């Protein structure tokens, strides 16, 4: 049999497992990216709380301790491979308390993504013009209100491409979690290939599925970005002679 015939045979025998693997891969990537984003958001918000010279010594000491812990988390998680983290955590903690490997995998991906997202979100926040903070503070908003209503909506829009990157990376890098026996796409491909001792056709199928996933996700994110940018046109309402008049202003497409 040639390559394509082998691929056909593997699909016809293992399509259900591949489907399940694809589902688990997507599940890990989606939840991992979402939870990781929330972790990153929280960390970045805490790390950008302004500390003034006039603040009390206690407040400054607490802020310093919290910042130290958060940056330690970011450095350790970013500085070690996710596969090694998965092996250590799964075989020490999760095996002991009987945690299913899919759940361990989701937790590990979330924590891992959180560390990268913390830096991505922080980058997004510091890229926003100081004037936006000053405008919000001067009108009477607290730090939290400024963040939620003014800074984060703009920062998140600006980091959408990086969030998309993380999502795509998570779809692909969740493959290393096959080491803790999660039935994700990579794990299934290895099994299917092993059953016939034909690994190349199985991994080609695997690669094609990964590409379809990442390509689709990229398109969806691009569409979301466009929606976040809002309408490129606006309406001028009313004139001196006719209050109901409307003039539609449209920006030239670049």
Partner 1 sequence: MEQQVNTQPDAPILELSHLGKKFGDNVVLRDISFTVRAGEVISVIGSSGSGKSTMLRCINLLETPTLGNIYYRGQDIQTGNIPLTAYRAKVGMVFQQFNLFGNMNVLANCVRPQQIVLGRTREDATDRAMEYLEKVGMAAYINARPAQLSGGQKQRVAIARTLAMNPDVILFDEPTSALDPEMVGGVLDVMRDLAESGMTMIVVTHEMAFARDVSNRVIFMDGGVIAEEGTPTEVFQNPREARTREFLSRFLGNN
CA angle 163, 78, 116 (to 5 degrees): 15
Q: What sign has the CA pseudo-torsion 79, 83, 88, 89?
A: positive
Q: Does 237 bind partner 1 (CB under 8 A)?
A: yes
Instruction: Please report how close the Cβ of residue 78 comes to partner 1 at its closest, in angstroms.
Output: 29
Instruction: Please report how close the Cβ of residue 237 comes to partner 1 at its closest, in angstroms.
Output: 5
Write out 46-65 in H/E/C secondary structure: HHCCCCCCCCCHHHHHHHHH
Q: Does 137 bind partner 1 (CB under 8 A)?
A: yes
Instruction: Please report how close the Cβ of residue 149 comes to partner 1 at its closest, in angstroms.
Output: 6
Q: Does 127 bind partner 1 (CB under 8 A)?
A: no
Q: What sign has the CA pseudo-torsion 90, 91, 93, 99?
A: positive
CB 157 within 8 A of CB 225: yes
Q: Does 126 bind partner 1 (CB under 8 A)?
A: no
> Could you tell me which stretch among 96-104, 190-198, 211-219, 230-238 binds partner 1 (CB under 8 A)?
230-238
Torsion, Cα of 205, 207, 208, 212 (10° steps)? 140
- Give 57 or 131: the residue with its C-beta nearer to partner 1: 131
Instruction: Please report how close the Cβ of residue 160 comes to partner 1 at its closest, in angstroms.
Output: 13
Instruction: Please report how close the Cβ of residue 128 comes to partner 1 at its closest, in angstroms.
Output: 8
Q: How far apart are CA 190 and CA 187, in angstroms?
A: 5
Binding letters toward partner 1, positions 80-119, x by CB under 8 A: ----------------------------------------
Q: Does 157 bind partner 1 (CB under 8 A)?
A: yes
Q: Does 142 bind partner 1 (CB under 8 A)?
A: yes
CB 132 within 8 A of CB 147: no
CB 251 within 8 A of CB 233: yes
- Give 75 or 246: the residue with its C-beta nearer to partner 1: 246
In the chain, where does DSSP find H-type helix?
3-47, 57-79, 82-89, 95-97, 101-126, 130-138, 143-146, 152-173, 185-196, 199-229
Instruction: Please report how close the Cβ of residue 254 comes to partner 1 at its closest, in angstroms.
Output: 13
> Could you tell me which stretch among 9-17, 35-43, 108-116, 136-144 binds partner 1 (CB under 8 A)?
136-144
Binds partner 1 by CB under 8 A, chosen from 59, 78, 149, 219: 149
Distance of CA 64 to the CA centre of its chain: 27
Binding site for partner 1 (CB under 8 A): 52-54, 129, 131-132, 134-142, 145, 149-150, 153-154, 157, 230, 234-239, 249, 251
């Amino acid at each position: 049999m040639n390559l394509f015939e082998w691929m056909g045979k593997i699909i016809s025998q293992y399509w259900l497992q591949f489907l399940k693997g694809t589902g688990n891969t997507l599940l890990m990537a989606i939840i991992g990216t979402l939870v990781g984003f929330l972790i990153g958001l929280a960390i970045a918000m805490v790390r950008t709380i302004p500390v003034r010279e006039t603040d009390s010594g206690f407040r400054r000491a607490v802020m310093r301790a919290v910042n130290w812990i958060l940056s330690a988390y970011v450095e350790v998680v970013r500085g070690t491979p996710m596969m090694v983290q998965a092996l250590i955590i799964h075989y020490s903690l999760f095996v002991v308390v009987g945690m299913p490997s899919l759940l361990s995998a989701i937790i590990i991906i979330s924590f891992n993504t959180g560390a990268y997202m913390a830096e991505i979100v922080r980058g997004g926040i510091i890229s926003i013009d100081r004037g936006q903070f000053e405008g919000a503070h001067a009108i009477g908003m607290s730090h939290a209100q400024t963040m939620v209503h003014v800074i984060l909506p703009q920062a998140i829009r600006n980091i959408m491409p990086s969030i998309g990157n993380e999502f795509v990376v998570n779809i692909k890098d969740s493959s290393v979690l096959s080491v803790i026996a999660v039935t994700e796409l990579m794990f299934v491909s290895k099994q299917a290939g092993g059953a016939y001792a034909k690994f190349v056709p199985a991994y080609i199928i695997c690669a094609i599925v990964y590409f379809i996933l990442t390509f689709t996700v990229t398109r969806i994110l691009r569409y979301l970005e466009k929606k976040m940018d809002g309408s490129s046109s606006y309406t001028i309402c009313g004139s001196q002679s006719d209050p109901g008049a409307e003039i539609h202003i449209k920006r030239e497409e670049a």
